[in-house]
Structure 1
Amino acid sequence: MTPIYLVDDNRGSLQVELRTMDRIRERLAELHPYTRELMRPTLFARVAELQPDAAIDQAFNRLAAKFPIGSQYNWLARFCRQRDLKDVEIGFERERYGAGALLLDLVEQGRSPAGYPAYRIPAAEQHTDVGTIFGSYVFPLFDITKQDMAREVDARGWRPIMLDTWFCHRPVGTEPCGRCHPCLNVIKAGLGWRIPPRRRALGALHRATIGFAKSTAKRLVQGATAS
C-alpha cells in the first residue's frame, strides 16, 4: 500500500497533516509491528507542479456548481491522469452531502485489484464529468458510514489511534476550526465530539452568517464559469 499526498503550499493545515501522518505511522508500528512492511513510503507530489488540464478544469467547475466538492478533486484528477494511475483507493462513504452524494446513484459494485469488494465508476460514465474527475478511483468504503467506522474503531480498541487523525483544513492552533468543509462533514456525520464545543459553537455562528454568503457566491461564480 502506497499512500498518496498532494502538497498544497497554501494549505493552512499542511504542517499539522505532515506531522500527523508521521505520528500515526509510528503509533501503528508500535502497536502492530507488521504495518512497517504493509505501508510503503508516502508518494508526495506538489500541487504547484501539476500540469494544467482544461478538460478537467471544465468538468470540475460544472460539478462544483451543483455539489459542494473541494478543489482537491481537481488536483487529484490531474495527478492521476498525468501519472496514468488507475484503481487508486479513496475513502468516500455513502453520504448524502459532498462528493459522496454526487456518486450515490452512479457507482457500481465490483472488486479492487487486491480482491476485496469496492465500488467504481462504471464504463458508461467514464467520459462524463463524473468519470473525468472520479474515474481513476475505486471506493472500498462506500458501503460504510462514519458511524459504522466509529463503532468498528471502538469494538477493536482503535480509538487512541483515531483520535490522532486529522481532518480540519484551517486549524486554530492545535484545534479543528469547526467551520471548514471537513469539520462540517464530521459534524453532519454525528461525530461532532471530535471538535471542541467552543469551536463547534463559533463554527455554527460562522456558517449561519459569513459562511452562507461565501458559499452562495462561490456557487454563482462556478456556475457562470461552467456555462
Structure 2
Amino acid sequence: MTSAHDIRTPSPVNLLWTGGWDSTFRLLQLLLQHRVEVVPYYLEDPTRASTQREIQTVERITAALRESHPHTRALLQPLRRFAVEGIPVDPDIAAALREIRRRSYIGSQYAWLPAFCRQQALPDLELCVHVDDKVQALLRGYAQEFAHPAGYRSMRVDRAHTGSAEHTLFGSFSFPLFHIDKVGIDRAANAAGWGELMELTWFCHTPLRGRPCGICPPCVYTIEEGLARRVPPSRRVVSWFYRRLWLPLRTALRQWRATGHGRGNERPPAPGYGGT
C-alpha cells in the first residue's frame, strides 16, 4: 500500500539550488550518492548584490562536477532561473506568513517560495532547511518522515495539518537536511570526499571586494553555526560588534513591523535563503 506521504512522481528531483553550502551538499548527495536526475531552481533578484556571484558559483560547481564526475552530465539538468518579481503571492499565503510571524519571525522568502511552487505546479521542491534554522524549529511538531521513491528518507509537513499556516507555507516542500547542521554537513562532505567542491560554494548577500561581508544574514548564520572560517578574519571582527550591538535592535524592530506595526506595506527584502 502506498503511504499518503509518498511522492507520486519519483524523478527527477526538484531542488532549490543557490550555490550555497546547504543546497550544494544536497545536490552532491543526489548526484553522487543517490545518482538521481536533478532539476535545479534559482529565484533571481537582480537588486541583490550577490545574484551574479551566485549564478557564477552554480556554473563553476557544475563545470567542476562534469569534470570530476562525468556521469553528472546526464543527471544534472540546466539551472532554471525565475525572477522573484514575477511571482504573485496569493492572499492565503500572505496571511499564513503574517500568522506565523506573530509567533516567530521568518523571512519574506517564505511567501515567495510557496507562491512559486503554486505558480509552477511543483508538488515537491527540496528545500535545505537544517538544524539551527528557524524554519526547522518552527516545523518540528509538523514534519513527518517519508520514503522517497528515489530510495532515501526525507521530511515534509504532515498532511494532517492541512489548513494550518505551516502547511500553507511549507506543504509543497520536502526537507532532506532536517536532522543535520552546517558542521555536520562539513563532516559528512569531507568523509565523502566532497570537500573541494563544497569550498566552491558562496553564501554572502553583500560581498565586499569579492569577499564575504560578515554582517548579512547568511554571513551571520555561517559564523554562528560553526563555519566562521569561511569569513575573512577582519570581517569576523566587524561581525562580532554587529551581532552584539546593532543586530539585537534591528531584530526587535523587524519583529515589531512583522506583527502589523510600522510600515506594513514596504517591499519585502530580497529572498535570503540562509546561504543554502
**What is the aligned partner in structure 1 of residue 221 from structure 2?**
185
Is residue 2:160 matched to residue 1:124?
yes
Mapped to 2, the partners of 1:25 and 1:160 lie a distance apart of: 13
Contact in 2 for aligned 1:7/1:46 (Cα 8 Å): yes
Q: Displacement, 1:178?
A: 1.4
Larger mean CA deviation between 118-127 and 167-176 belongs to 167-176
Contact in 1 for aligned 2:131/2:181 (Cα 8 Å): yes
Contact in 2 for aligned 1:89/1:137 (Cα 8 Å): yes
Secondary structure in structure 2 of the residue aligned to 1:210: helix
**What is the aligned partner in structure 2 of residue 34 from structure 1?**
71
Secondary structure in structure 2 of the residue aligned to 1:76: helix
**What is the aligned partner in structure 2 of residue 44 from structure 1?**
81
**What is the aligned partner in structure 2 of residue 167 from structure 1?**
203
Consecutive unaligned residues of structure 2, counting only runs of 5 or more, are 1-37, 265-276
Q: Displacement, 1:198?
A: 1.1
1:88-122 Cα deviation digits (max 9, x unpaired): 11111133x42221112221111224231000100
Is residue 2:180 matched to residue 1:138?
no
Is residue 2:148 matched to residue 1:112?
yes
Is residue 2:122 matched to residue 1:85?
yes
Residue among 225, 236, 243 paired with 1:200: 236
Larger mean CA deviation between 174-183 and 25-34 belongs to 174-183
Equivalent residue pairs, number: 225
Matched residue type, 2:255? R
Contact in 2 for aligned 1:94/1:104 (Cα 8 Å): no
Consecutive unaligned residues of structure 1, counting only runs of 5 or more, are none
1:177-227 Cα deviation digits (max 9, x unpaired): 21222222222221111111111111121222232222111100111269x
Contact in 2 for aligned 1:17/1:166 (Cα 8 Å): yes
TM normalised by structure 2 equals 0.77
**What is the aligned partner in structure 1 of residue 97 from structure 2?**
60
**What is the aligned partner in structure 1 of residue 254 from structure 2?**
218
Larger mean CA deviation between 20-29 and 4-13 belongs to 4-13
Over aligned residue pairs, what C-alpha RMSD do you find? 1.7
TM normalised by structure 1 equals 0.92
Distance change in 2, residues 1:201/1:62 (3 Å): farther
Contact in 2 for aligned 1:67/1:99 (Cα 8 Å): no
Mapped to 1, the partners of 2:149 and 2:213 lie a distance apart of: 37
